[in-house]
Homo-oligomer: A and B are copies of this chain.
Amino acid sequence: MNVIKVSANSRTAAVAGAIAGVMREHRYAEVQSIGAGAVNQAVKAIILAKGYLVNDGIDIICVPNLLMLRLTAKFGPLSN
């Protein structure tokens, strides 16, 4: 299942639509965001998605968690 990645510039309605779609299919969705602006958009999108799913009889609860990113550096020309 694809993780829904949210940035500070993501439109909440679009993210909420994605969350609702994944929730309908899997009854579970994973949302990732980095930074305060992105976390804020994600929370607002979850609230919106909750509304989208009311008629499907699906209620959203969320379990926030921290994500450890493993950053790797590659040295070489930019085209790599």
CB of A64 within 8 A of CB of B36, answer no
Copies held by the complex:
2
Segment 17-50 of A: residues with Cβ below 8 Å from B: 35-37, 39-40, 43-44, 46-47, 50
Kindly list chain B residues whose C-beta atoms are within 8 Å of the C-beta of A63: 50, 60-62
Binding site for B on A (CB under 8 A): 8, 35-37, 39-40, 43-44, 46-47, 50, 60-66
- The list of the 8 closest CB pairs from A to B, nearest first, reads A36-B40, A61-B61, A39-B40, A36-B36, A43-B64, A36-B37, A47-B64, A46-B64
The 8 Å CB contact of A66, one of B36, B37, B47, B64, is: B47
CB of A64 within 8 A of CB of B65, answer no
